[in-house]
Structure 1
Amino acid sequence: MPFQLPELPFDRNALDPVMSGETLDYHHGKHHKAYVDKLNGFLTEGKARETNLVEVVRQAHQSGDKKVFNNAAQIWNHSFFWQCLAPADGQQPTGKLKDLIAESFGGTDALLAKLKDESVNHFSNGWSWLVLNRGKLEVTSLHDADTPIVYDGMQPLLTLDLWEHAYYIDYRNERPRYAESVLGKIINWDFVARNLDGDGLSRADQEPATAREAETA
């Protein structure tokens, strides 16, 4: 298959009780995998051989190919999301990230409150984001599979999945409790800080399998 389901960066039960192993079984093992399987079915062999995931997303967006865009963007969004999470260990923003948060929002608590508010009030499915836009931190949200990949100046730092499959097993319909628990307890702030270098897109990108095989041949 041209593209693959990436491994989770933590053990199945590492995020308990904020995010259960059962949720990960379905969210990663079924929903995320389904996007990979569908995209591989849509792409031609030649296109898959030559184009990485980020470029597939951008080309599909430009051409209006909604089927390819939705599945490719969801692969990237999810791959980025998993890296935004880490087992609860009291982690907090530090260094340059902490300073930017203080400058833009007044402190971490204020940022988390704004992210929660954006997540709770976002209508229907989508993603809430912390982005760096021309040197300034901003909180926003995008609908369905929409992604920072296709917007100039929107450098992704952190995202929260707002689709119901992300939280229904553990929180039923309580999106506010889900958002508060994840944002307050299991964010990988080290990963968020690394994305200040503007290279966040590449951290969830992947080459098609045919390109990887050619490099190792």
Structure 2
Amino acid sequence: MNNFSRRSFLTRTTKASLAIGIGTSGIGSALFACSSGPDKDTVLDNLRTGFTQSDLPYDYAALEPHIDAETMNIHYNKHASSYAEKLREAADEENVDMDKPLEEVMMNISRYSTKMRNNGGGHYNHELFWKIMSPDGGGRPQGELAEAINESFGSFDEFVSKFEEEAKDRFGSGWAWLVIDNNQSLAIGSTPNQDNPLMNDVDFKGIPLMGIDVWEHAYYLNYQNERGEYISNWWNVVDWNQVADRYDRLRR
């Protein structure tokens, strides 16, 4: 990224600065809170996550051969559906306003129950996961996201290598992520179980741009214990247009 582009990135509106301040109680209301009326912030609408499961944006078989139809069916209709259902139960039990974005809960997760953490994280993570994959995915990012990846990691190939290492080395179940971090830079890391970088008490913090599910239910039917093969093939379905859209919206 040239000097002008970097200065532009660092001096965008206060909304972008607030977006990076992960882990403070005011961030949810400042960035993700839904407003009403003519002043509603439509720029960030696509970043907000609700408490109900969204429709899968493609057929179960659409990501084959990289992700098979049976895995997608079970993953979406059994695992992810259960997270959404139990999240709403937890929200009812803990008097959470489900008209507000789920991100507000994630950013203050230490205030809530284990049930909220596990199912809220599971729901948030999967809602993002479906969105950043596509049957027309693959290739490489373009434009300013590509420039930012090159600046942060040296090259796209180095980025892929580092991301795959994080995903493969996550012990047990979890996720690997590309995020915008507190330094307004791109960063790669992973979280256990259904945790995510939005949570205020995790070691790796940031606003997720993309994430890969490395729970066994995401790949075991097709890849069995070959997690690395699943991760390598996953790049063929990554929708870089969606990832770049998230990046661009957070910078506005």
| TM-score normalised by L of structure 2 | 0.72
Structure 2 unaligned blocks of 5 or more: 1-49
Deviations 1:1-30 (A, max 9, x none): x93221112222110000011111111111
For the Cα contact (< 8 Å) 2:179–2:207, is it kept in 1?
Answer: yes
Contact 1:36–1:75 (CA under 8 A) maintained in structure 2: yes
Q: Aligned equivalents of 1:153 and 1:143: distance in 2?
A: 13
Residues 107-139 of structure 1 deviation map (CA, whole Å, 9 limit, x = unaligned) = 212111111111111101110001122232111
Count of residue pairs brought into register by the alignment: 197
Q: How does 1:29-44 map to 2 (within 5 A)?
A: 29-44=77-92
The residue type paired with residue 214 of structure 2 is L
Question: d(CA) in 2 for partners of 1:49 and 1:139?
Answer: 30
**Cα pair 2:58 2:134 within 8 Å, conserved:** yes
Q: Deviations over 1:62-114 (max 9, x none)?
A: 22411111101110010001111111454321000111111122221211111
Partner secondary structure for residue 149 of structure 1: coil
- Determine which of 192, 195, 200 is the counterpart of 2:246: 195
Q: Which has the higher contact order (CA 8 A, sep 6+)?
A: 1
Distance 1:123 1:89 in 2: 28
Matches within 5 A, 1:24-173: 24-44=72-92, 47-59=96-108, 61-88=109-136, 90-133=138-181, 134-151=183-200, 154-173=206-225
Question: What is the aligned-residue identity percentage?
Answer: 34
CA–CA distance in structure 2, aligned partners of residues 53 and 143 of structure 1: 19
Q: Which runs of 5+ in 1 are unaligned?
A: 201-217
Change (3 A) 1:18 1:49: closer
Contact 2:51 2:98 in 1 (8 A): no
Task: Indicate conservation of the 8 Å contact 1:155/1:198, yes or no.
Answer: no
> In the alignment, is residue 178 of structure 1 matched against residue 230 of structure 2?
yes
The structure with the greater share of residues assigned to helix is: 1
Match of 1:20 in 2: 68
What's the TM-score once normalised by structure 1's chain length? 0.83
CA contact (8 A) 1:101 1:108 kept: yes
Structure 1 residues 6, 194: closer, same or farther in 2, change over 3 A?
same
